[in-house]
Structure 1
């Protein structure tokens, strides 16, 4: 029997570091190594055929589970991304339609959590828009921010992420999309209240380099870190404990927040 040649995929792995720096009311910083998937969503069926570790079934080591991303799981994820971008940017859907690429995490050995998923939309060969899906823990709520890469502007914080950060803050994004071998995201968080507006609270950065998606590179990543999402959750709670030891102020959850809430199992 002749072997069926699958088309080359454009999806890739991105490897690098995530860094957080907190400037006030207490100083705190950390950095971790990580890898993330950059998936062209239209390629998922061929990727599932090519890599035995990757698929949509519970037995796959790295599982793409539609319910883990955004809402309306009965619909294609790329269609939901485009609809949310159009709604949040208040533009016609045709203005934001394009190829959708997911930068994020998968479900490993049954465990999923991703603080930030970025849905890049590519049109005419250029990444033009991003839908940023932010998640919190332990509440398992999610919220989306729609960003136009051609004109990024500071905007108000709309979603409770951490008990060590209050509402009344402003986000300022800088994004280098994955058009080459590098990808970078920088988020600066500032005070928004009138008497202290503009005061820098913290920043977070993601600095990644492309790694070709091949069996060898995928095996190496997974053998080094079999469940990246479990390691990620452990790191989040460890840093929260460190902030408690430093007596950082604690801000309770303001009530239900986010575009959609506790839908994960």
Structure 2
């Protein structure tokens, strides 16, 4: 898929224990070359702002590539010499919420070298995981407090192939070899034309805000069902 692109997605969450609870919602994500962010006409810019400070860790004024390079350097990995593609949410009307952002880092020959999966929670915190390039699921220890109903233990199985005509990302949480939760993001990609960007504001207005509200609403539902809250 050429960049920039928009993937119209369906996101599903399924909890398996201590109660069975699942939900799905429509959304969309941007697929971009982080060195060549979309250039939109002035009237669309409030609906798609890409700010490096919304991702990873860095200093004020850093580019997103610099933040990716800093993340890799902290883990003893050389900076990628090729393109870095990302699947993420943009700021819409000044607000952004990225439950998960993915970065695919390539060498000069366009061979995939590393994948970064960055998770955000509804408390405004973020944590990123370094993954090897793989079409099959890879395991990574859970290290971040995402949900008030899950402790920080166990491991994830993450499948995050680089998007093509469609996107198919899945994450499953295991605790003591038992799968307790899984989430998927699946959808079809389209060129990010001005018309497409405008149309998404009608189909999914204020998408980041709506996604955050939906996740909080599901948390209230679980609390009402007396699912135990795990303190930080």
The alignment's TM-score, normalised by the length of structure 1, stands at 0.80
| Aligned counterpart, 1:63 | 49
Q: CA deviation at 1:53?
A: 4.6
For 1:196-211, list aligned pairs within 5 A. Answer: 197-211=176-190
For 1:1-265, list aligned pairs within 5 A. Answer: 10-44=3-37, 47-48=38-39, 50-55=40-45, 60-72=46-58, 73-88=60-75, 90-91=76-77, 93-94=78-79, 96-123=80-107, 124-138=109-123, 140-150=124-134, 153-178=138-163, 180-191=164-175, 197-253=176-232
Q: CA deviation at 1:105?
A: 0.8
Q: For the residues of structure 1 that align with 2:102 and 2:22, how far apart are their CA atoms?
A: 23
Q: How many residues align?
A: 228
Q: CA deviation at 1:127?
A: 3.4
8 A Cα contact 1:101 1:120, kept in partner? yes
Once superposed, what is the RMSD of the aligned Cα atoms?
1.8
Structure 2, unaligned runs of 5 or more:
none
Q: CA deviation at 1:77?
A: 0.9
Q: CA deviation at 1:52?
A: 3.1
8 A Cα contact 2:89 2:208, kept in partner? yes
Q: More deviation in 157-166 or 70-79? A: 70-79
Q: For the residues of structure 1 that align with 2:147 and 2:18, how far apart are their CA atoms?
A: 14
Q: How far does the alpha carbon of each residue in 1:196-227 deviate from its partner, in whole angstroms, 9 at most, with x for none? A: x2011011111121111111111110122221
Q: For 2:230, what is the secondary structure of its paired residue?
A: coil
| Aligned counterpart, 1:257 | none
Provide runs of 4+ in structure 1 moved above 6 Å: none
Q: CA deviation at 1:54?
A: 4.9
Q: CA deviation at 1:27?
A: 0.5
Q: For the residues of structure 2 that align with 1:114 and 1:121, how far apart are their CA atoms?
A: 19
Q: For 1:120, what is the secondary structure of its paired residue?
A: strand
Structure 1, unaligned runs of 5 or more:
1-8, 192-196, 254-265
Q: How far does the alpha carbon of each residue in 1:16-57 deviate from its partner, in whole angstroms, 9 at most, with x for none? A: 21111111111100111110001111212xx32x433554xx
Q: For the residues of structure 2 that align with 1:41 and 1:54, how far apart are their CA atoms?
A: 19
8 A Cα contact 2:52 2:62, kept in partner? no
Q: For 2:118, what is the secondary structure of its paired residue?
A: strand
8 A Cα contact 2:168 2:185, kept in partner? yes
